Amino acid sequence: MNPPRSLFDDASHLESIALVDAELAFAEHFYPPAVADDLFATLLAQTHWRQESIQVWGKAHRQPRLTAWHGDDGSAYSYSGIHLQASSWTPTLLRIRRDISAATGHEFNSVLLNLYRDQQDSMGWHSDDEPELGRNPVIASLSLGAMRRFKLKHTTRKEQKTLALDLPGGSLLIMAGDTQHHWQHGIAKQTAPIGPRINLTFRQIIAAKP
């Protein structure tokens, strides 16, 4: 039997990013530009994008982006009062999942797609720490389309500077280990006009909610 491949030791150009209380790896050119552009166009056109409403203090707010959730049959996911039933895998999503699994040695049974239509779309500070993801989830985040700035801030150690990572189309960011216990991440709105960006976060849901 082959030993499991390390997250940071493979031929996929993933390089470790040093950050306390976190395990991060980044490949700026996981896909070459032509492939990334193709995947972006296909996903933009073929995805059934929805604008969900989340509950904050009992009040419904429309999310400032569009989303879609795909995964293995029967998988479901909940956050901020949204319950998403997975749509099935498409050939494009299966292809990306296969490439990311080959590069990381990790399996993923679901993917959340986010479409940031322009500079006004965003994602607030959060950790991906839902119980369904298990204790130390490996989350693989592929970016396509326009480059946006992804920020990470430590939740308790104020001396830790916020880390800003520009995520260009075709880049892959892996968050693993105890990253989700100590850091929040998000994508802020920006003033400079920018075109659409799609982000896919591949996740492994370990248990169905009762």
Ligand X SMILES: O=C(O)CCC(=O)C(=O)O
Q: How far is CA 28 from CA 24, 25, 76, 177, in A?
A: 13, 10, 31, 21
Q: How many residues bind Mn ion (CB under 5 A)?
A: 1
Q: Does 21 bind Mn ion (CB under 5 A)?
A: no
Q: Does 114 bind ligand X (CB under 6 A)?
A: yes
Q: Shortest CA distance to 44 belongs to which of 83, 92, 4, 6?
A: 92
- In the three-class reduction of DSSP (H, G, I as helix; E, B as strand; rest coil), residue 45 is classed as helix
Q: Does 172 bind ligand X (CB under 6 A)?
A: no
| Chain residues 126-155 in contact with Mn ion, contact rule CB under 5 A | 128
Q: What's the closest the beta carbon of residue 101 comes to ligand X, in angstroms?
A: 18
Q: What's the closest the beta carbon of residue 3 comes to ligand X, in angstroms?
A: 30
Q: How many residues bind ligand X (CB under 6 A)?
A: 11
For 182, the token pair is 């100590």
CA–CA separation, 121 vs 49, rounded Å?
Answer: 14
Q: Does 205 bind ligand X (CB under 6 A)?
A: no
Q: What's the closest the beta carbon of residue 162 comes to Mn ion, in angstroms?
A: 15
Q: Does 108 bind ligand X (CB under 6 A)?
A: no
- Nearest residue to ligand X, by Cβ distance, number only: 199
Q: Does 47 bind ligand X (CB under 6 A)?
A: no
Q: What's the closest the beta carbon of residue 128 comes to Mn ion, in angstroms?
A: 4
Contact 17, 7 (CB under 8 A): no
Of the candidate residues 150, 154, 179, 205, the single one contacting ligand X (CB under 6 A): 150
Q: Does 128 bind ligand X (CB under 6 A)?
A: yes
| Contacted by 141, from Mn ion, ligand X, none: CB < 5 to 8 Å by type | ligand X
In the block, residue with structure tokens 């849901």: 205
Specify which residues 198 forms β-bridges with.
115, 144
37 vs 128, beta carbon nearer Mn ion? 128
Residues with Cβ within 8 Å of 172's Cβ and at least 6 positions away in sequence, in order, are 12, 14, 26, 27, 30, 100, 103, 140, 141, 142, 143
CA–CA separation, 24 vs 19, rounded Å?
Answer: 8
Note the residues at the interface with Mn ion (CB under 5 A).
128
Note the residues at the interface with ligand X (CB under 6 A).
112, 114, 123, 128, 141, 150, 167, 185, 187, 199, 201
